[in-house]
Chain A
Amino acid sequence: MLSYFITRIAQAIVVVFAMSVIVFVGVFAIGNPIDVMIDPGATQAIREKLIAQYGLDQPLVVQYWTFLRNVFAGDLGTSMVYNIPVVDLVFSRFPATLELVAVSVLIAVGVGIPAGLWAGYRPDSFGAKLVMALSVLGFSVPTFWIGMLLIMGFAVELGWLPSGGRGDEATFLGVSSSLFTLDGWSHVIMPAINLSLFKMGLMIRLTRAGMVEAMGTDYVKFARAQGLPDRQIVFSHILRNISIPIVTVLGLELGSTLAFAVVTESVFNWPGVGKLIIDSILQLDRPVMVSYLIMVVILFVLINLVVDLVYARLDPRVRLKGGA
């Protein structure tokens, strides 16, 4: 057991290192950021001074080594566009993304699970078929296009909601968030719905599959024979049994929600981390790109590691196989 844990953690560290090299070399290959940030009329001397200031005249290996040393010292570099430390920049943007992701998960769960339960309870009804058709749309129609339709409908045509940006913030119990104001909610609701659609589709399908399976099991039959009302069977017996895979998938999906936030934040001009990475790609803000990508890699490797270790704890067969 212990040896399996150690092997897996060692593998994870190797992967993070390998990815950091790939990311660094890849970002290095994109182009010279100086060309983008500098005034085209600047003299050669100014240009060279800037290049030296950012250490861009050093060989790639030296640059990577400097980068690694700085990372271990907790310094991810300074943004070339905003001219503030990347760590501060990412953390200043993070609350906005967190708000968006939290509201969208709430919507996905709050709508997806009841809809999935219904679709599994009466699989042949018209409503169930409609729900399933909508879940296919949630899966296959590109996020940005739905976001655009939402803006067109609710912001441009009806004028009910603002078309983008984050609303006023308010401080409550020492936490500052736009979710404490009405204006904040009017801004967050459209992007959150947009971001939730994919997960909602997933929730609907998972819940429905679990529900259909559970409806045929003995414990449901016995509960029926006892004379329990369907409402109680569904909510206190079936839901409890099918909630484990749902929670697992929801946890795994957290990472990809952050990734999809890139698209949603761009459409709705939401000032989160996703918008930051797109802007930094378009402006060749190298330190921000590298830091963001390495953070994402670490996040995904961590999620994978935790899942593997938990499964190994639960299922002895995984451990014995040696984690191939």
Chain B
Amino acid sequence: MSEIIAENIAAVPSAPPVETRAKRLRNFWSDFRESWVAVGALTVIAVLLFLSFGAPLVSPQDPYDMAMLDWLDAFLRPGTEGSGGYTHLLGTDNAGRDMLSAIFYGLRTSFVIGLSAGACALLVGIVVGLTAAYFGGRIEALLMRIVDLQLSMPAILLALVLVAMLGQGIGQIILALVVAQYAYFARTTHGAAKVERGKDYIEAARSTPLPTHRVLFKHLLPNVLPPLIVVATVQVASAIALEATLSFLGVGLPLTEPSLGSLISNGFKYIHSDRYWLSIYPGLALMVTVVAINLVGDQVRKVLDPRNSR
């Protein structure tokens, strides 16, 4: 009972949410829509998501079902008809895989890795950042020193070493990416939370008998979310690019667990033999994905920027 009352008291000065959630969302969308580039990029992402997660439905072949592969189909040029009786629009690779199907499946792996690494890094970063900002003192000094040190090192180097230590596999790559990327979220959360913590509504919430975690997650967190959303978009794109780089360097995923990076890495071996389609098309898919996510992130940042008065 006392908690309900406390919640109501704390809710009164709770910052500026005069607008309802739906209205804020509508405002956000109408601002976002102003850039046709961003809307186009968002559409591209939606299509790519559909194609990748619907890969078993839309692709002409399951490229990782060995029974369906025919060695006679190896290195077919784009647009050639294979033994399966359909046209390989983007050609086939050295094992007779249909490149189009391989790209859809590879995109799915890349998305799974990028999204889960981004989400986990976000969670870890929020916890670290909020803890540091809320408790202050020695905890803050220690946590933020670690974060700063990590931020000064390039993520690619950190991820490379971690994957080398953890071994190959999707789980290991995600773990390595989370360790390499959480610091960005922690830094952002910490900065924003420091500002919010000094405001009256947090002071008011703290003076009530609400448990600490409730103040942190119900009152503080919603107000530090906007900058985090921006970081999250950029980090998902960079996770996808990082994974591709690791796989390209030979420490990421093997070709039996396809990602765009391992496809490109495989194609790179045939770069001198005029079989450009093995590496060009997965590379294009990677580039389009990463650039589209970054463009959307750019626009989200513009819209959420508080200096951008409406």
Query: What mask results when residues 234 to 273 of chain B are scored 1 for a CB within 8 Å of chain A, else 0?
Result: 0001000100110011110000000000001000100110
Verify B156–A145 contact, CB threshold 8 A. Answer: no
Within 8 A of B (CB), among A146-177: 148-149, 151-152, 156, 163
Closest A residue to B267 by CB, please name it. A148
B2 at the interface (CB under 8 A from A): no
A247 at the interface (CB under 8 A from B): no
Q: Which residues of A contact B274 (CB under 8 A)?
A: 156
Binds B, one of A25-33, A206-214, A216-224: A25-33
* Residues of B in contact, count (CB < 8 Å): 39
Verify A324–B140 contact, CB threshold 8 A. Answer: yes
A266 to B265 Cα, complex, angstroms: 11
Within 8 A of A (CB), among B120-171: 140-141, 144-145, 148-149, 152-154, 156-157, 160-161, 164-165
Q: Which residues of A contact B154 (CB under 8 A)?
A: 255-256, 259-260
CB within 8 A of B250: which of A278, A300, A324?
Answer: A278
The smallest beta-carbon distance between A101 and chain B, in angstroms, is 14
Verify B272–A156 contact, CB threshold 8 A. Answer: yes
CB within 8 A of A148: which of B148, B161, B241, B268?
Answer: B268
Secondary structure at the B interface, as helix, strand, loop or mixed, is: helix
Q: Which residues of A contact B290 (CB under 8 A)?
A: 140-142
A293 at the interface (CB under 8 A from B): yes
The smallest beta-carbon distance between B242 and chain A, in angstroms, is 8
A15 to B298 Cα, complex, angstroms: 35
The smallest beta-carbon distance between B267 and chain A, in angstroms, is 9
Verify B164–A141 contact, CB threshold 8 A. Answer: no
Within 8 A of B (CB), among A250-276: 252, 255-256, 259-260, 262-263, 266
Verify A262–B160 contact, CB threshold 8 A. Answer: yes
Verify A142–B244 contact, CB threshold 8 A. Answer: yes
Verify B286–A142 contact, CB threshold 8 A. Answer: yes
A263-B249 in contact given A145-B264, A281-B164, A300-B152 (Cβ < 8 Å): yes
B95 at the interface (CB under 8 A from A): no
Verify A139–B294 contact, CB threshold 8 A. Answer: yes
A29 to B295 Cα, complex, angstroms: 40
Q: Which residues of B contact A312 (CB under 8 A)?
A: none
Verify A140–B294 contact, CB threshold 8 A. Answer: yes
CB within 8 A of B157: which of A23, A30, A136, A259?
Answer: A259
CB within 8 A of B164: which of A30, A137, A255, A304?
Answer: A30
A136 to B38 Cα, complex, angstroms: 14
B287 at the interface (CB under 8 A from A): yes
A293-B161 in contact given A141-B291, A156-B271, A263-B156 (Cβ < 8 Å): yes
Verify A26–B161 contact, CB threshold 8 A. Answer: yes
B280 at the interface (CB under 8 A from A): yes
The smallest beta-carbon distance between A199 and chain B, in angstroms, is 12
B181 at the interface (CB under 8 A from A): no
Q: Which residues of B contact A282 (CB under 8 A)?
A: 250-251
B118 at the interface (CB under 8 A from A): no
A87 at the interface (CB under 8 A from B): no
Q: Which residues of A contact B141 (CB under 8 A)?
A: 324
Verify B250–A262 contact, CB threshold 8 A. Answer: no
11 contacts between A and B (CB under 8 A): A11-B145, A141-B241, A142-B241, A148-B268, A148-B271, A148-B279, A152-B279, A163-B271, A282-B250, A300-B152, A300-B153
Using a CB–CB distance below 8 Å, which chain B residues touch chain A?
140-141, 144-145, 148-149, 152-154, 156-157, 160-161, 164-165, 237, 241, 244-245, 248-251, 264, 268, 271-272, 274, 276, 279-280, 283, 286-287, 290-291, 294-295, 298
Known A-B contacts: A141-B241, A144-B248, A260-B154. Give 5 more (CB < 8 A): A26-B161, A139-B294, A140-B294, A148-B264, A151-B271
